[in-house]
A and B are shown apart, each in its own frame.
Chain A
């Protein structure tokens, strides 16, 4: 009896142990899989997304720093004062870098940002490349690894396109070593090294391109008020790239003609961008505006202004940087004297090395262009700084020859009749060449805008002082149908135009006042040819997914 009882007790024990074993195996299997799933869906996905957040935070820091350079030529100082360092050895492009460490939950995020100016356009506009690497720690124990259900065993290959598979291919977690530094170094194959990581981490790398925003993106931009001309006036646009149709009458040397009321005209679309922007609510106008009108808090409506043929937006805002008196770059001096006739040097055929002249008052001056061996006018660049006025009493004149690109900075007032301002360039730049190193130049000019060849920059007056620009002051010689091809960047000036002149170009000013039947014809070809950058925008975003 005792023996039989013992056999039964052993069976029960065996069954219990088997049951516990089976249940434990199932439970352990579930736990292992749960841990893996939890790790993937919670920790790894979280870190992967946070790495991009960190990279974008770094990109934003770089972008914000780039925007600080608007209106300030001392770019390097701006970066240095904000704690940016120049890499060593210094790259060919001006480059600054900054580390942002320990932000986010428990300091799990960090980013490394590099900003470099990789290109400058023909107008001097800087283009910045912002590279940012964001790193996020992967929390959780590293032995749980990754989800291998989809894996075919490919963990790494030298070819970046076939590195790993499934989650490995996407998330690229560095459990023990920084895979990027070990394979690609700095991204271009420099400084390849095996580097351990203190915690499992994910890094994501982005590159942003910040491009300048043009100051002359509208016919008239006013910081304070726009009081437009009379009912007989017009604000419209044209593009000096366009050749007018046969039979159409244009001003001599210009491609402008009025097409804004003719939808069948081939250049109708280019004729209705005569935009007006005011950074305050103050706007009034009587004549037609073939473009959009924007105010900052105004009450402009189509009912009140039926002659506005574009859209109306009363919630815009913009900034334009002030102008300070420029100086020749290091190693360059002003040309001697204050000649009435400027004959530029050979270096002035390069837009990067214009001739610099310093005047007190600037009037009754003729600027000639360089010519090649056959007498072709060459694009010639001259920068004038006037510490006093431009023009003045006595009907002064200004003449620039065909091919001259004049930037005229002035600290005082501007008073010169449109009819006495002779810009002898032509729309389309026909017959003008770019110096290409040959005695006889073969490269036609691509700067087709006549207005872009004559640029006025009004240096901001001291606080409390006014600055006046008058393009049709009183006095003899005004004549009728006076025409002026020029651009004015004058954020501290009050701009006046009375009577009936026509301005072809664009205006940035503090206040605008016009009466009579003067016309404003915005040349769309001005974009990217004149004026300082007024902002930056991100034009490109790429991610280095290696």
Chain B
């Protein structure tokens, strides 16, 4: 009887330990997948952007990109059916040819995509906009919000525009805090000063990427 109780206790302990370990491992790898997804989303959109800016707190990335596909309600929807690809308009300037998609009577419709951290989730917010001659952006439609990751919590983008380099790129680092047990317990709030142990654990999950703008306006 005694042996049976011991065996049962051992079995239960093992099962609980395995379950906790598996849960933490599962959380780690599923979040890792989301990290990759964030990086890939950002990389794809930065590459096709003309302008990329980041917020002061480095928790928001805003990409302005050409309106390649005609959507219902666009000003030139009569010229091009909705759902088709636009033929670009080329403007010749002293600094070279500038390519626009959807240029109508001087109006420059663009799409603005914003990546933002929202309560540990990463949202992708896509908004139709218009850019004026100074590239000031005005929203002209409804923002579509898509949650692309649910448990990563530190989006650290940096953009740099070095004149000599004649280019611009966005650096992105995404981290999360694992659910493995720690001693001492981690500080769950990444914006506060974390304790060294949890910071070390967080740093260990970092994924970094650098994406160059291929349409950087150099005018």
- Name the one of B81, B85, B99 contacting A540, with C-beta atoms under 8 angstroms: B99
Contact B8 A15 (CB under 8 A): yes
- Name the one of A149, A162, A209 contacting B144, with C-beta atoms under 8 angstroms: A162
A30 touching B22 in the complex, CB below 8 Å, given contacts A45-B40, A187-B84: yes
Whole-angstrom CA separation of A26 from B19 in the bound complex: 8
Q: Is A82 an interface residue (CB 8 A)?
A: no
Q: Is B148 an interface residue (CB 8 A)?
A: yes
Prevailing SS type, chain A contact patch: mixed
Which of A33-41, A322-330, A467-475 is the interface stretch?
A33-41
Contact B15 A544 (CB under 8 A): no
The 0/1 profile, CB within 8 Å of A marked 1, for residues 67-102 of chain B is 011000000000001011101101010101111010
Contact A189 B84 (CB under 8 A): yes
Q: Is B33 an interface residue (CB 8 A)?
A: yes
A15 touching B4 in the complex, CB below 8 Å, given contacts A211-B97, A540-B88, A544-B85: yes
A19, A45, A119, A540 pick with most chain B CB within 10 angstroms: A540
- Name the one of A26, A121, A188, A211 contacting B96, with C-beta atoms under 8 angstroms: A211
Which of A165-173, A254-262, A298-306, A406-414 is the interface stretch?
A165-173
Whole-angstrom CA separation of A147 from B32 in the bound complex: 12
Chain B hits for A129, CB < 8 A: 87-88
Residue of B nearest to A27 (CB): B18
Whole-angstrom CA separation of A9 from B19 in the bound complex: 29
B142 to chain A, nearest CB (A): 10
The 0/1 profile, CB within 8 Å of A marked 1, for residues 7-41 of chain B is 11001000100110010001001101110110011
Chain A hits for B34, CB < 8 A: 150
Residue of A nearest to B100 (CB): A540
- Name the one of A169, A524, A541 contacting B215, with C-beta atoms under 8 angstroms: A541
Instruction: Give the B interface residue count (CB, 8 A).
Output: 48
Contact A207 B68 (CB under 8 A): yes
Whole-angstrom CA separation of A1 from B146 in the bound complex: 70
A546 touching B69 in the complex, CB below 8 Å, given contacts A149-B30, A189-B84, A539-B96: yes
Q: Which residues of A364-419 have CB atoms within 8 Å of chain B's CB atoms?
A: none
Q: Is B186 an interface residue (CB 8 A)?
A: no
- Name the one of A30, A184, A212 contacting B83, with C-beta atoms under 8 angstroms: A184
Count of A-B residue pairs with CB < 8 Å: 121
Chain B hits for A37, CB < 8 A: 29-30, 32-33
Contact B22 A26 (CB under 8 A): yes
Residue of B nearest to A171 (CB): B40
Contact B83 A527 (CB under 8 A): no
Whole-angstrom CA separation of A221 from B96 in the bound complex: 18
Contact B90 A211 (CB under 8 A): yes
Q: Is A194 an interface residue (CB 8 A)?
A: no
Chain B hits for A18, CB < 8 A: 11
Contact A209 B88 (CB under 8 A): yes
Contact A541 B94 (CB under 8 A): no
The 0/1 profile, CB within 8 Å of B marked 1, for residues 1-25 of chain A is 0000000000100010011001000
Chain B hits for A309, CB < 8 A: none
Q: Which residues of B87-126 have CB atoms within 8 Å of chain A's CB atoms?
A: 87-88, 90, 92, 94, 96-99, 101, 126
- Name the one of A15, A49, A118, A169 contacting B87, with C-beta atoms under 8 angstroms: A118
Q: Is B150 an interface residue (CB 8 A)?
A: yes
Chain A hits for B126, CB < 8 A: 161
Contact A150 B94 (CB under 8 A): no
Whole-angstrom CA separation of A56 from B19 in the bound complex: 45
Residue of A nearest to B126 (CB): A161
Residue of B nearest to A217 (CB): B96
Chain B hits for A40, CB < 8 A: 33
Q: Is A362 an interface residue (CB 8 A)?
A: no
Chain A hits for B48, CB < 8 A: 541-543
A179 to chain B, nearest CB (A): 14
Instruction: Give the A interface residue count (CB, 8 A).
Output: 53
Q: Is A481 an interface residue (CB 8 A)?
A: no
Contact B41 A170 (CB under 8 A): yes
Chain A hits for B26, CB < 8 A: 33
B163 to chain A, nearest CB (A): 13
Contact A29 B99 (CB under 8 A): no
Q: Is A216 an interface residue (CB 8 A)?
A: no
B7 to chain A, nearest CB (A): 6
A160 touching B47 in the complex, CB below 8 Å, given contacts A37-B33, A40-B33, A127-B90: no
Chain B hits for A33, CB < 8 A: 26, 29
Whole-angstrom CA separation of A205 from B36 in the bound complex: 21
Q: Is B158 an interface residue (CB 8 A)?
A: no
Chain B hits for A48, CB < 8 A: 40
Chain A hits for B11, CB < 8 A: 15, 18-19, 22
B33 to chain A, nearest CB (A): 5
Contact A29 B144 (CB under 8 A): no
A132 to chain B, nearest CB (A): 13
The 0/1 profile, CB within 8 Å of B marked 1, for residues 109-153 of chain A is 000000000110100000101000000000000000001011000
Chain A hits for B36, CB < 8 A: 41, 45
Q: Which residues of B162-205 have CB atoms within 8 Å of chain A's CB atoms?
A: none
Chain A hits for B92, CB < 8 A: 121, 527-528
A539 touching B37 in the complex, CB below 8 Å, given contacts A15-B7, A187-B85: no
- Name the one of B41, B69, B87, B150 contacting A160, with C-beta atoms under 8 angstroms: B69
Chain A hits for B22, CB < 8 A: 26, 29-30
Q: Which A residues have a C-beta under 8 Å from some C-beta of B?
A: 11, 15, 18-19, 22, 26, 29-30, 33, 37, 40-41, 45, 48-49, 118-119, 121, 127, 129, 147, 149-150, 160-162, 165-167, 169-170, 184, 187-189, 207, 209, 211-212, 239, 524, 527-528, 537-546
Ranked nearest first, the 7 interchain pairs of A and B with the lowest CB-CB distance are A540-B99, A211-B97, A541-B214, A188-B84, A528-B92, A37-B29, A542-B68
6 A-B interface contacts by CB (under 8 A):
A26-B18, A30-B22, A147-B30, A160-B83, A527-B94, A543-B47
Q: A26-B19, A118-B87 are in contact. List 14 more A-B contacts (CB 8 A).
A: A15-B7, A22-B11, A33-B29, A41-B29, A129-B87, A150-B150, A162-B144, A166-B148, A207-B85, A524-B94, A528-B92, A540-B99, A542-B48, A542-B66
